Amino acid sequence: MRRRKTRGSAEIDITPLIDMLFMLIIFFVLTASFVQGKLDVKLPQGEGDSSDTRGAVVLTVTADGKFFWNGRGMTKDELAHAAEENKGREILIAGDEGVPYGKVASVLSLLRGEGVTSAGLLLSGGRSE
């Protein structure tokens, strides 16, 4: 009687590979989404009252004088309209330390003119020596 040779099949379990691939995809997607909305602003040094800022609108003034309302670019006219719609909310101004004082003062004046009563400046912690 002849023995029949059986050929073993070469199966590889790829479940752990798929799991690792899925984790890497999630990592890169989340990392890309966090970096995308970041504005590069160097805040001036100072100490102040650190109140709860979760419900506040952040108005950013970059070093080149551009305005961003919660990360969305705006002109000065659009800024006035957005301020009028958000009168009751707290607005925090994150002005780059390279922006002239007059530019930030004009933004504060514009906010006051639109009826905003709660506006403050964001500062980086610590004292400037």
Per-residue pLDDT reduced to its tens digit, 8-30: 777 888 999 999 999 999 998 88
Sign of the four-CA dihedral 46, 59, 56, 87 = positive
10 lies in some domain: no
pLDDT of amino acid 25: 94
Instruction: Give the structural domain span for 92.
Output: 64-121
Burial degree of 6 (CB within 10 A; 0-12, 13-18, 19+)? exposed
pLDDT of amino acid 52: 58
HSE toward the beta carbon, residue 40, CA cutoff 13 A: 3
25 lies in some domain: no
104 lies in some domain: yes
pLDDT of amino acid 18: 93
88 lies in some domain: yes
115 lies in some domain: yes
Residue-wise pLDDT for 21-80, tens only, equals 999 999 988 887 665 555 666 666 666 665 556 677 888 888 888 888 887 888 888 888
Model-level pTM?
Answer: 0.58
Number of structural domains (the chain) is 1
102 lies in some domain: yes
Question: For residues 73 and 37, what is the distance between their CA atoms, to the nearest angstrom?
Answer: 11
- Tokens 């691939």 sit at which residue? 21
13 lies in some domain: no
